[in-house]
Amino acid sequence: MLKRALISVYDKNGIVEFARELNKLGIEIISTGGTAILLKKYGIPVKTVSDVTKFPEILDGRVKTLHPMISGGILAVRNKKEHMEELKEHDIKPIDIVICNLYPFEEVTSKDNVDLDEALENIDVGGPNMIRAAAKNFENVVVIVDPSRYDQILQELKKNGDVSKETRADLAVEAFKRTAKYDWIIYDFLGKQKTLEKFPDVLNLTYKKIKDLRYGENPHQKAALYRDLTLNKKSLIDAEQITGKELSWNNFLDINTSLMLAKEFDDPTAVIVKHATPCGVACDSNIFNAYEKAYSADPVSAFGGIVSINRKVDLELAKSMSSAHFDCIIAPDFDEIGIKLLRQRRSLILLKTGPFSQVIENDMDIVKISGGLLVQEHDNAKLKDLKVVTKVKPTQEQLNSLIFAWKVVKYVRSNGIVLVKDKKTVGIGAGQTSRIDSAKIAIMKAKNEVRGSLMASDGFIPFRDVIDETAKAGIAAIIQPGGSINDEKIIDAVNEYKIPMVFTGLRCFRH
Neighbouring CB atoms inside 10 A of 160's CB total: 9
Amino acid at 408: V
Distance of CA 302 to the CA centre of its chain: 26
Q: Note if 424 is an active site residue.
A: no
Distance between CA 350 and CA 255 in Å, rounded? Answer: 11
Residues in CB range of 82: below 8 A, 6 or more apart: none
**Longest C-alpha distance within the chain, in Å?**
98
For helices 68-75 and 81-89, the axis angle rounded to 10 degrees is 160
Alpha carbon 284 to its chain's center: 30
**Rounded to the nearest 10 degrees, what angle do helices 15-24 and 33-41 cross at?**
70
Burial (CB count <10 Å: 0-12, 13-18, 19+), residue 379: middle
Name the catalytic one among 12, 47, 93, 136.
136
Beta strands in 332-415 (DSSP E): 349-352, 364-369, 372-377, 387-388
423 noted as active-site residue: no
Catalytic residue, candidates 275, 312, 352, 489: 275
Residue 94 carries which DSSP code?
Answer: P
Q: Could you write out the DSSP letters of every residue in 395-434?
A: PHHHHHHHHHHHHHHTTSPSS-EEEESSSBEEEEE-S-SS
Q: Which residues are catalytic?
A: 136, 275
